[in-house]
Amino acid sequence: MPALSSDQARINGAQPRMTELDLERLLMAIATNDRTNAELAVEFRKAPSTIYNLKVKYRDRIDDIRRKMTVDFTDLFIVRKAARLDDIQELRNLAWDQLRALLATNTLIDGRTGEVMAASVDAGQFKVFAELILKANRAVAEETGQLPQRVEGLGEQWTAKVLGVNGKGGIDYPAITQADRRWEAGAPERAAKRAQEKAAREQWHDEDHIRSIMRAGKSRRFATEYVQSERDRKDGFTPAECRQRARERRAAADYAEWVEALEVICEESVTQDLEGNPIRLDAAGLESERARIKEYWFPGDEPAHARVDAFFASWRYPDEDTEESEPVQILRMIVPDTTPTTADEAAEPDREPETSKADTAAEPDQVMQRLHADGWPNVG
């Protein structure tokens, strides 16, 4: 980029600052043509470095201007390929009609024999119409992509092969069309694969973010909720929608914890009241508590209801099956168990004298009398 002389720099520095209109004109000139920075600097009386800086600073505005110009041109009929081909076809038809008329009016025919005697066709006119027809044919070939596509480094051999002028075929347009159809048919599958890959990348990114928050001392639930809220914000949800989605996620997480601890919830509901005091419910109370748990804790959840029913079907209070009367417990402690423990003891009965049935029946009464005599509480 050429440097400015002192005089040029002094002149440029004395120029007033650019107005918004001048800036818009400069950006329009940058967007509409490919002139160099030096050429634009001469036109707008700025240094080439200033033009370069403006191109970098207002890059987005320049791109917007170019996009708007492109959109404005799309409503023109001539920018459509079919319209251009129609125009070329119309010009070619006109050229052929003029050429046929020229040949018909300038041909001398012998009226006696009907033979062509001479043809005084204007060579200039014939050349104009013929060249117009050839140009129309070439324009159609250019529009349809049938002209030789020369690639540097491949030479004439590749061009001849593509056009089929070497006698070995050429471009198979039906095959290309079929390949395009197969490609378009696979578009939904490719889109689904790209969406799956994007979701996997976002999941990895979110997991890394969660671990970084947890290293700062926060819980995993807090980190997960924070990352998911950030993801909702990036996906374009409004603040109200983000809060609603956060509430729904918290409710779902709480419900999952309740389902996991279903048996614990059931056991606490039948063993203690709301203040934590121990309780013991009868059959009617257990049935009422089962209905309450189904309705208020797990509404409409059939698998959870089945687990609740299974819990209450097998529920027993800890002392319900092992409870015995106090006299029976005292007798178990005093009267020894005489059941044989080995095979030899079972085979050899005791040699002690047998007692009568009356003595056996009176033995519990004697035991109770001894207990009263020793000062034991009245259990009779």
pLDDT at 327 over 90: no
68 to 61, 72, 73: CA distances (angstroms): 10, 6, 9
Q: Which residues contact 272 (CB under 8 A, 6 or more apart)?
A: 278, 279
CA distance 37 to 2: 10
CA distance 25 to 31: 10
CA distance 29 to 34: 9
Encode pLDDT of 269-287 as tens digits.
888 887 878 888 888 888 8
252 to 245, 262, 275, 298, 369: CA distances (angstroms): 10, 15, 27, 12, 67
Encode pLDDT of 12-34 as tens digits.
666 667 788 888 888 888 887 77
Three-class DSSP category at 147: coil
Three-class DSSP category at 196: helix
CA distance 303 to 71: 58
Element (H, E) at 245: helix 239-260
CA distance 109 to 114: 6
Q: Which residues contact 194 (CB under 8 A, 6 or more apart)?
A: none
Among 32-41, 107-116, 176-185, whose mean pLDDT is lowest? 107-116
Range among 121-125, 134-138, 334-338, 347-351 with highest mean pLDDT value: 134-138
Question: What is the number of other CB atoms lying within 10 angstroms of the CB of residue 60?
Answer: 8
Q: What is the pLDDT of residue 1?
A: 47
Contact 213, 222 (CB under 8 A): yes
Structure tokens at 258: 């309740």
Average pLDDT over residues 68-83: 72
Q: Which residue has the tokens 């095979």?
A: 343
Structure tokens at 295: 């309705």
pLDDT at 328 over 50: no
- Kindly report the average pLDDT of the chain as a whole number: 75
Q: Which residues contact 85 (CB under 8 A, 6 or more apart)?
A: 140, 143, 144
Q: Which residues contact 247 (CB under 8 A, 6 or more apart)?
A: none
Average pLDDT over residues 225-245: 85
CA distance 42 to 24: 17
φ/ψ of 118, rounded to 5, equals: -160, 160
Q: What is the pLDDT of residue 350?
A: 52
CA distance 160 to 245: 63
Structure tokens at 273: 């009241």
CA distance 117 to 107: 8
